[in-house]
Amino acid sequence: MMVGGYLTTIIAAMIPPLWHKLMTPKVLAWDRHYASAEERVLAREANARSGIAQLMTATAP
| pLDDT tens profile 1-56 | 777 899 999 999 999 999 999 999 999 999 999 999 999 999 999 999 999 999 99
Yes or no: say if 58 and 27 are a contact pair by the CB < 8 Å rule: no
- pTM score: 0.78
Yes or no: say if 2 and 9 are a contact pair by the CB < 8 Å rule: yes
- Please count the other Cβ atoms lying within 10 Å of the Cβ belonging to residue 25: 12
Q: Which pLDDT does position 8 carry in this prediction?
A: 92
Q: Which pLDDT does position 32 carry in this prediction?
A: 92
* CA proximity to 20, closest of 4, 3, 34: 3
